[in-house]
């Protein structure tokens, strides 16, 4: 039986685990352990880092094939998976949801980094809503320390935030009415997001458009070179069922 390591932490990884278990594949989903109460997939689950490339390479002795379905911005894990699988000679597939596509009437401003996003947001408004997670909040301090920032995060920030900032804890999926309320209540004049893609957090983009607000979007980082990639769960399943050798 194929033993598959699924690097997870995303809705796509949970959906793929459903399909793999139904197909009789022995799947172990790996979670980073950042969220206190994660949504658990079906199948086996392990939690916590591997200890860099070397630790992951050692762990790969228990698997035949790897699917990296981590978040588009989880760059270290993806790079480590590419290096460890290459060293161990294991097939690796990247499953990554497509980025968002701008619709007519949406005022999007692309940023190349979080620092750049903060500078753009400072230029566009004084009451930004940050929806970029908690890990990169420090990058927003230089440009937005004196702004009335609302930061939405799943887990509490590791940094202490400036006095004019407020923090709200919540976890998607989000719906349009709630997103409209959040932006209206804060009297937001700009929204900042990563190009996460997918449906879970798309309603804020619609809410921003409905309220005529600009959105600053942090571009996705590059993927590791040489790793085959698919953008949906069905294609990933097909790849696994061919033993990680199928045409993409
Ligand atoms: P990251 O910066 O790429 O990874 C940092 C370290 O965390 C890795 O080197 C690894 O530690 C550990 N790690 C990350 N993902 C792991 C996994 N699935 N299983 C075991 N260890 C993992 O990752 P991140 O941006 O902090 O994201 C952490 C997790 O949250 C990912 O699984 C990702 O899918 C999920 N997530 C991330 C975002 C985001 O915006 N970044 C959003 C939603 C969900 P070792 O080097 O010790 O192995």
* SS3 at position 63: coil
- Of all protein residues, the one whose alpha carbon is nearest to atom 28 of ligand 1 is 32
- Are both 17 and 82 inside the same structural domain? yes
- Region 69-76: mean pLDDT is 97
| Lining residues, ligand 1, CB within 6 Å | 7-10, 30-32, 34, 49-52, 55-56, 70-71, 73-77, 80, 133
- Of all protein residues, the one whose alpha carbon is nearest to atom 40 of ligand 1 is 73
Q: Is 118 within a domain?
A: yes
Q: Is 246 within a domain?
A: no
244 pLDDT exceeds 80? no
Strand order in the sheet with 26-31: 44-47, 26-31, 3-7, 65-68, 92-95, 229-230
- Of all protein residues, the one whose alpha carbon is nearest to atom 30 of ligand 1 is 9
Q: Is 248 within a domain?
A: no
Domain count, the chain: 2
User: What is the distance in A from the centroid of ligand 1 to the CA of 213?
Assistant: 31
- Region 212-235: mean pLDDT is 97
CATH number of the domain at 78, please.
3.40.50.720
Q: Which atom of ligand 1 is nearest to the CA of 73?
A: 41
Q: Which atom of ligand 1 is nearest to the CA of 76?
A: 3
Closest CA to 10 of 131, 100, 97: 97
Question: Rounded distance, CA 65 to CA 219, Å?
Answer: 29
Q: For residue 58, what are the domain limits?
A: 3-98+221-241
- Are both 94 and 136 inside the same structural domain? no
pLDDT digits (tens, 9 = 90+) for 114-142: 999 999 999 999 999 999 999 999 999 99
Phi, psi (rounded to 5 degrees) for 229: -135, 145
pLDDT digits (tens, 9 = 90+) for 31-50: 999 988 999 999 999 999 99
- Are both 34 and 47 inside the same structural domain? yes
Q: Is 103 within a domain?
A: no
Q: Is 30 within a domain?
A: yes
Q: Which atom of ligand 1 is nearest to the CA of 194?
A: 40
Angle at 16 between CA 76 and CA 33, to 5 degrees: 40
- Of all protein residues, the one whose alpha carbon is nearest to atom 24 of ligand 1 is 74
What is the reported pTM? 0.95
- Are both 133 and 194 inside the same structural domain? yes
User: What is the distance in A from the centroid of ligand 1 to the CA of 172?
Assistant: 18
- Are both 89 and 122 inside the same structural domain? no
């Amino acid at each position: 039986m194929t033993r598959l390591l699924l690097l997870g932490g995303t809705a796509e990884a949970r959906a793929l685990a459903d399909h793999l278990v139904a197909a009789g594949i022995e799947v172990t989903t790996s979670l980073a352990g950042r969220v206190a109460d994660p949504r658990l997939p079906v199948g086996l689950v392990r939690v916590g880092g591997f200890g860099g490339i070397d630790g992951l390479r050692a762990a790969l002795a228990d698997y035949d094939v790897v699917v990296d379905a981590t978040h588009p911005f989880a760059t270290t894990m993806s790079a480590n998976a590419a290096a460890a699988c290459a060293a161990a000679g294991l097939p690796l597939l990247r499953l990554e949801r497509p980025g968002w596509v701008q619709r007519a009437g949406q005022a999007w401003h692309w940023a190349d980094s979080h620092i750049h996003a903060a500078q753009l947001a400072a230029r566009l408004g004084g009451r930004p809503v940050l929806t970029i997670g908690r890990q990169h909040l420090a990058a927003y301090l230089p440009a937005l320390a004196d702004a009335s920032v609302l930061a939405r995060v799943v887990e509490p920030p590791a940094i202490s935030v400036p006095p004019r900032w407020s923090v709200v804890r919540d976890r998607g999926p989000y719906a349009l009415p709630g997103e409209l309320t959040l932006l209206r209540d804060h009297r937001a004049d700009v929204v900042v997001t990563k190009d996460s893609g997918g449906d879970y957090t798309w309603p804020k983009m619609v809410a921003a458009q409905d309220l005529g607000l600009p959105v600053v979007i942090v571009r996705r980082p590059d993927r590791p070179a040489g790793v085959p990639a698919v953008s949906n769960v069905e294609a990933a399943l097909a790849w696994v069922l061919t033993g990680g050798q199928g045409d993409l």
